[in-house]
Structure 1
């Protein structure tokens, strides 16, 4: 994954891949909360967004939107009694299991990391077993 050391506009193909991944996860959340029909409706709209790309990138607005997304996601997790740091630890462990035999990521042609031979899914249920400590919202 390329990492920029200063705010910059994301490469054309990478921005589509990254936004696609964000929308894919939003679709999973919509499916979990509203059901499969709602998720399918969102997926249909999301699949057409690239057609409307005007080619302009505003890094300040993008940074603000990413921060706002993070903020509201944490808010929903807290209201749902979910310790997001615990769930993130499970997801991180799973993501690191996607590496190949040499400890390197396996990339799809669009840059998405594929599952390696040692892949295991995140154990989100385990992360949810301990109740959230409401006195410590950064509960880990």
Structure 2
């Protein structure tokens, strides 16, 4: 028997910690409060970047900085994946749609374009992912 998938492990974690788990879109009545709590915890995680920056500026080793970044990104991904399961959102499929949308941002000649911060700029063939995400969620809600 092979290793468990990431999504299976998240489902087991949600069960272990008695967190909601849904296989189709489901929002609790207190969604606004839940989202505020999610935001607060996510901000706590993201604020760890300041500690990593300080370590980098203080001469921490490349390996120590890489470990801190890996832990930060991993924690955020686990937290977001668990949150998606709480709401019955198929995050892997949503990410596929978003990746397709990101790939549509290339310029007319197929080259990437960036802003001053390195963010992808939208080319002439760009399409927004929301309508396809909506179609996906509607198909799961039937």
TM-score, scaled relative to structure 1: 0.54
Are 1:85 and 2:84 counterparts? no
Greater RCO (CA < 8 Å, at least 6 residues apart): 2
Aligned length: 91
Q: Hey, what's the Cα distance between the residues in 1 that align with 2:79 and 2:69?
A: 15
Q: Distance in 1 between matches of 2:79 and 2:35?
A: 15
| Structure 2 equivalent of residue 127 of structure 1 | 136
Q: How does 1:39-78 map to 2 (within 5 A)?
A: 53-54=53-54, 55-56=57-58, 58-78=65-85
Structure 1 residue 111 corresponds to structure 2 residue 110: no
TM-fit CA distance, 1:130 = 3.2
Unpaired runs of at least 5, structure 2: 1-31
Higher helix fraction (1 or 2): 2
Q: What RMSD, in angstroms, separates the aligned Cα atoms of the two structures?
A: 3.1
Structure 1: which 5+ residue stretches go unaligned?
A: 1-29, 133-140
1:1-30 C-alpha deviation (Å, 9 max, x unpaired): xxxxxxxxxxxxxxxxxxxxxxxxxxxxx9
TM-score normalised by length of structure 2: 0.53
